[in-house]
Amino acid sequence: MKFRCERDVLTEAVTTAGRAAASRGGALPVLSGVRAELAGDRLTLTGSDLDLTISVSVTVNGETDGVAVVPAKLASDIVRSLEPGAVGVEMADDEVRITSGRSDFSVRLIPADEFPHLAEPAGDAVTLSAAEFAAALHQVVPAASADDSRPILTGVLLAAEESGLRLVATDSYRLAVRDLPGTSVLAEGQTVLVPSRALGELGRLLGDAEQVTLRLGERDAAFEIGDVRLSTRLIEGEFPNYRGLIPASHPNRLTVGREVLLDAVRRVRLMARESTPVRLVMKPDGLELLAVTQDVGQAHEELDATFDGTELTVAFNPEFLIQGAEVTQGDEITLETIDALKPALLRSPDSPDFLYLLMPVRVS
pLDDT in tens, 297-311: 999 999 999 999 999
Q: Is residue 199 part of a domain?
A: yes
Chosen domain end from 61, 83, 114: 114
Structurally, how many domains does the chain consist of? 3
Same domain membership, residue 227 and residue 303: no
| Position 364 in a domain | no
Q: What is the reported pTM?
A: 0.90
Which residues fall within 8 angstroms of residue 86, CB to CB, at 6 or more apart?
Answer: 4, 5, 6, 7, 100
Tell whether 120 is covered by a domain.
Answer: no
Question: Do 146 and 227 fall into the same domain?
Answer: yes
In a shared domain, residues 148 and 68:
no
Residue 319 lies in a domain: yes
**Residue 197 resides in a domain:** yes
Mean pLDDT per 10-residue section of the chain, whose length is 364 residues: 96 96 77 95 95 96 95 96 96 92 94 85 82 95 93 94 90 95 80 94 92 89 94 94 88 96 96 88 94 89 95 95 96 95 94 95 84
| Same structural domain, 277 and 352 | yes
Q: What is the pLDDT of residue 186?
A: 75
Return the pLDDT at 25: 57
Same domain, 239 and 131: yes
Q: Provide the CATH number for the domain around residue 177.
A: 3.10.150.10
Angle at the Cα of 44 from the Cα atoms of 38 and 48, rounded to 5 degrees: 130
Could you read off the pLDDT of 260-280 as tens digits, one per residue? Answer: 999 999 999 999 877 889 999
Of 88, 114, 140, the residue that ends a domain is: 114
Q: Are residues 235 and 295 in the same domain?
A: no
User: Which range of residues forms the domain containing residue 67?
Assistant: 2-114
Q: Assess if residue 80 is contained within a domain.
A: yes
Residue 195, in any domain of the structure: yes
Same domain, 157 and 232: yes
Q: Tell me, yes or no, whether 342 lies in a domain.
A: yes
- Predicted local distance difference test score (pLDDT) of residue 138: 96
Q: What is the pLDDT of residue 124?
A: 77
User: 239 with 251, same domain?
Assistant: no
State which of 83, 114, 145 marks the end of a domain. Answer: 114
- In terms of domains, do 224 and 266 share one? no
CA distance 105 to 356: 50
Same-domain pairing of 147 and 187: yes
Pair (176, 233) in one structural domain:
yes
